[in-house]
Amino acid sequence: MITTNRGIGMTSQRTRDRLVARLREEGIRNEAVLDVIRNTPRHLFVDEALASRAYEDTALPIGYNQTISQPYVVAAMTDLIISGHPQKVLEIGTGSGYQAAVLAPLVPKIYTVERIKPLAEQARQRFRKLALRNVRASYSDGTEGLPDFAPYDAIITTAAAEKIPQALLEQLSPDGGRLVIPLGGRDQQTLTLVTRQGDSFEKTGLDPVVFVPLLTGQA
């Protein structure tokens, strides 16, 4: 459950409504996704100094050379993930925890992994504060997935890879599992949807995006 902290001024419900109106204008049509974006307190996922900008449609820094993704991108990726009606989702790159919080009302079970320990700990605190009991956070190398709970109906990657990690393909459900991942280098990335049927993987390139790189190891 997300306890919506209504906020005042630039974090007020009116400000959130303006963000949702902008996302709708930009092509987000899934009302369930828009409702979650409206009700998720994004200002709790950024530093207090940036709270007044939390409902702008822009990425914001969260420290450790990482960012909280642009709301439009979060909404678009969420729409792609839930279109397959997943019961169990793996997120690679917890970051601030915002993407997982948006998915939480829409998916029964979410596993999320983060390689930067302070970010993982901060995200866990936010999940507890918002009573997101269906989100399980881990501190680990996301390029290895999370094999203990595989297979996953969907996997969402919030960092860009030049090549899809083999572990993620292997942990995707063979019965229509969906992987949403930005692919490419620093200068050019494409949001990509991979659908698995048995041992076959169909890859579809979607929108140009900009994400931090997917790195190996733990920090």
Report, as residue numbers or ranges, the catalytic residues: 69
Whole-angstrom Cα Rg for the chain: 16
Q: If DSSP codes are grouped into helix, strand and coil, which group holds residue 118?
A: helix
Cβ atoms of 63 and 48 within 8 Å: the answer is no
Closest among 109, 121, 88 to 219, alpha carbons compared = 121
Which one, of 32, 20, 104, lies nearest residue 56 by Cα?
A: 20
Half-sphere exposure of 211 (CA within 13 A, CB side): 30
The Cα–Cα gap between 20 and 23 comes to 5
Q: Are strands 189-197 and 175-184 parallel, antiparallel or unpaired?
A: antiparallel
Element (H, E) at 101: helix 98-103
Q: Which of 86, 85, 81, 78 is nearest to 33 (CA)?
A: 78
The answer to whether 195 and 202 have CB atoms below 8 angstroms apart is: yes
Do residues 199 and 132 make contact, with C-beta atoms less than 8 angstroms apart? no
